[in-house]
């Protein structure tokens, strides 16, 4: 009983193999890049294709790309460090959204509305009443 | 820990805390009157180990350059640089102790004493002080620091500026809570007396 229930509940699309992907445009560019990188200059010239970039770039461009990726990691870390506000910045305490928030009236027996509590109140709650 | 009562002498006590890097700090508290308080936070002294390490690296680097260049001026320059660097560090960078003096009717004064004896003082009058709070911020990691919020002349409930205190000593939360509680007592008293003219 249980087995028949579980096998019948598998949807039909999962039981069949997935359909093959249609070929996409990137495939053509990859084939072109490999042809340019590997086939010697003389063969391409004999075919009539003479105006190619130098084969040096077939190796240089991937290396440039990798170095850019690694430096991107370092740069992202640096940008993060630079955007951290210093200790004497007002942005550690409040910002425009907190200053302009509307104060809703508290209803009876209801959870108070969500709001940004000023830092003085937070401090009093944490540090003064803990005795 | 009680107030001085009828006596004229100042009450003092001293406790030991640690800063965010693990060094030992000494918090020295003096009550000059019930509402006039001074906190003195002493930073750890410059250690012999770090001094010898820096001197050895500078002199080894200079000796390495000397073997390359065969110019003996490099060695004397290294000695000169080490001496000047040490003097400059003691006079401009290394802080020996930081003091916070609160007088409820006058204001708050912060003093930083450098290792060479130089003192730099900042005074904020009580009319400008909105509150003294402990805030959390990111400084290579999340730290707690004590700061003074200054009132905004334009907006009654706004904050115009944040002045962090004990910046060089960087004590941990237990020390900050002590200072915060005492400051809040004095500020509450000041608000009560200023609200009833």
| ipTM of the complex as predicted | 0.76
Coil, helix or strand at residue A112: coil
Position A130 pLDDT exceeds 70: no
What is the reported pLDDT for A18? 66
Place of tokens 């620091």: B145
pLDDT along chain B (197 residues), means of 10: 49 87 89 90 91 93 91 90 94 94 93 94 94 92 93 88 92 92 92 79
What is the reported pLDDT for A9? 55
What is the reported pLDDT for A42? 76
Task: Name the nearest CA neighbour of B148 among B106, B175, B183, B178.
Answer: B183
Coil, helix or strand at residue B76: helix
Contact A127 B147 (CB under 8 A): no
| Cβ atoms of B102 and B183 closer than 8 Å | yes
Contact A84 B147 (CB under 8 A): no
What is the reported pLDDT for B6? 46
Contact B147 A128 (CB under 8 A): no
What is the reported pLDDT for A15? 60
What is the reported pLDDT for A33? 82
DSSP E strand boundaries for chain A:
none
Chain A residue closest to B183 (CA)? A128
What is the reported pLDDT for A105? 78
Q: What is the pLDDT of residues A4-50, one digit of tens each?
A: 455 555 566 566 666 667 667 788 888 888 888 887 777 777 776 66
Contact A127 B149 (CB under 8 A): no
What is the reported pLDDT for A7? 52
Longest distance between any two alpha carbons in chain B, whole Å: 79
Stretch (H or E) spanning B135: strand B129-138
Give the closest of A85, A88, A119 to B133, CB-based. A119
Contact A90 B134 (CB under 8 A): no
Contact B135 A93 (CB under 8 A): yes
Q: Is A125 on the interface with B (CB under 8 A)?
A: no
pTM here? 0.76
Longest distance between any two alpha carbons in chain A, whole Å: 91
What is the reported pLDDT for A17? 66
Cβ contacts of residue B81 below 8 Å, gap of 6+?
A: B58
- Which residues in chain A (89-118) have CB-CB distances under 8 A to chain B? 89-90, 92-94, 99
What is the reported pLDDT for B2? 45
Confidence of residue A108 (pLDDT cuts 50, 70, 90): confident
Cα–Cα distance between B31 and B101 in angstroms, integer?
10
**CA-based nearest distance B131→chain A, Å:** 7
Place of tokens 């940004």: A116
């Amino acid at each position: 009983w249980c087995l028949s229930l579980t096998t019948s509940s598998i949807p039909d699309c999962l039981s069949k193999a997935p359909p093959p992907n249609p070929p996409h445009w990137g495939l053509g560019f990859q084939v072109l890049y490999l042809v340019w990188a590997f086939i010697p200059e003389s063969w391409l010239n004999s075919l009539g294709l003479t105006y190619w970039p130098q084969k040096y770039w077939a190796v240089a461009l991937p290396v440039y790309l990798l170095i850019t990726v690694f430096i991107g990691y370092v740069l992202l870390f640096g940008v993060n460090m630079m955007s951290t506000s210093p200790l004497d910045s007002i942005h550690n305490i409040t910002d425009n959204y907190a200053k302009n928030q509307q104060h809703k009236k508290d209803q009876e027996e209801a959870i108070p509305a969500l709001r940004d509590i000023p830092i003085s109140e937070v401090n009093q709650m944490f540090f003064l009443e803990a005795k | 820990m009680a107030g001085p009562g009828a006596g004229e002498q100042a009450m003092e006590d001293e406790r030991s805390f640690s800063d965010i890097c693990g060094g030992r700090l000494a918090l020295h508290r003096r009550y000059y009157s019930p509402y006039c308080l001074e906190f003195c936070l002493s930073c750890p002294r410059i250690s012999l180990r770090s001094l010898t390490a820096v001197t050895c690296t500078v002199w080894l680097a200079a000796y390495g350059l000397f073997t390359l260049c065969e110019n003996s001026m490099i060695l004397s320059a290294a000695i000169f640089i080490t001496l000047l660097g040490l003097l400059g560090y003691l006079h401009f960078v290394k802080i020996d102790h930081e003091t916070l003096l609160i007088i409820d009717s006058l204001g708050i004064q912060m003093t930083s004493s450098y290792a060479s004896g130089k003192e730099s003082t900042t005074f904020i009058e009580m009319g400008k002080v909105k509150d003294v709070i402990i805030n959390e911020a990111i400084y290579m990691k999340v730290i707690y620091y004590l700061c003074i919020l200054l009132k905004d002349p334009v907006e009654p409930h706004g904050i115009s500026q944040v002045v962090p205190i004990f910046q060089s000593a960087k004590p941990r939360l237990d020390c900050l809570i002590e200072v915060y509680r005492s400051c809040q007592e004095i500020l509450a008293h000041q608000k009560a007396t200023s609200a009833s003219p």
